[in-house]
Every structure is written in C-alpha cells, then in structure tokens.
Amino acid sequence: MTLFIRTLLPTLVVVAAQAALAQAAAPVTVQGAWARATVKGQTSSGAFMTLTASEPVTLVRIATPAAGVAELHEMKMEGDVMRMRAVPALQLVPTKPVQLKPGGYHLMLQDLKAPLQAGTAIALTLTFRTARGEERPLVLQVPVSVTAPAEVGAATTHGMHKP
C-alpha cells in the first residue's frame, strides 16, 4: 500500500499542476458570442460578443482554426463612408462591458477554411495581457448563426418574413 501511494503521488502532483495552469484563464467574461454564417462564395466573416473584464487587461491576439487570419477590427464613419480597420489591441477597463457588434468593434475572420454554417460552432481563443504582462487565454466555442441571438425577434418585427 505504501509503495502504491509513493508511485501514485508524483502523478497526482503533475495533474494538480496542470489543473492550476488551466485555471489561469483570462479574467474576462463573455456574453452573447456569435459568428455570422457565411453565404456562398464568402471567405470572411465576423464574430461578435460582449467582453467584461474583472481586472485591467488588453486583448492582444485572436486565433481560430476556422480562419487563416483573425483580427480585431473597428468600423468607423469617416466623413460619409463607413470604413473598417484593424486594431492591434483593445484595453478593457474592469467592470465596463465592451461590445463587439456589427458596425463597431468585431473579430474579423478572413481566409475561412470552410463556410460558417448556422447551427455549428467555431473555436476561438482570445489572448489577453494583464497589467503584470502575463498572457491569459480565453478559449471559446462560438455558435454560428445568421443574426445575433437577440436580433431574431427584431428581424421578425421588421417584417423580414412577410411576403
């Protein structure tokens, strides 16, 4: 029995260490995440969500196996023209939700490996840097849909399904 415990103990220590590593996730909560389904021939799309940090962090990197390039973008009116540009980093102020939504900040997924089909989900990893310079990942499964989850009712009200 003693021998059994001695051989088992190192294994338990390793498992505990791995669990601790996994728990060092970003201090950020995500609400309402979704990625827009693509139509035929479309090779890029956007992902949207609300991010709320519990300590000061900066979003520094986005990665997904679903796309060749994943970047943070911002849509802004420049004169009369709506323009989109890449944003290298996004600072989050604790408890202040930041909305990534159509027409504003969004995660741009370019060079899609396959069409994004409604009802499926894509893996997305957001990497945040803390004030101490540590990088913390946030691993998400983002559902793919045609419209934002909250927009479904609004779309119906606006008569989209009427003849």
Residues that bind Cu ion (CB under 5 A): 73, 84, 108
Q: Closest distance between Cu ion and the C-beta of residue 78, in Å?
A: 14
10, 61, 70, 74 from 87: Cα distances, Å: 45, 10, 11, 7
Residue number with the smallest Cβ distance to Cu ion: 73
CB nearer to Cu ion: give 49 or 108: 108
Measured CA to CA, the distance from residue 65 to residue 74 in angstroms comes to: 22
Q: 28 or 72: whose CB is closer to Cu ion? A: 72
CB within 8 Å of 67: residues ≥ 6 apart: 44, 109, 110, 111, 112, 113
By beta-carbon proximity to Cu ion, the closer residue of 25 and 87 is 87
Residue placing its CB nearer to Cu ion in the complex, 37 or 108: 108
Q: Minimum CB separation from Cu ion for residue 106, in Å?
A: 6
How far is the CA of 23 from the CAs of 17, 76, 138, 139, 140, in angstroms?
A: 10, 36, 10, 12, 14
Q: Compute φ and ψ for 22, nearest 5 degrees.
A: -65, -30
Compare residues 13 and 86 and give the one whose CB is closer to Cu ion.
Answer: 86
Distance of closest approach, residue 54 Cβ to Cu ion, in angstroms: 27
Smallest separation, CB 73 to Cu ion (Å): 3
| CB-based contact 110:86 (threshold 8 Å) | no
Compute the least distance from the CB of residue 161 to Cu ion, in Å. Answer: 28
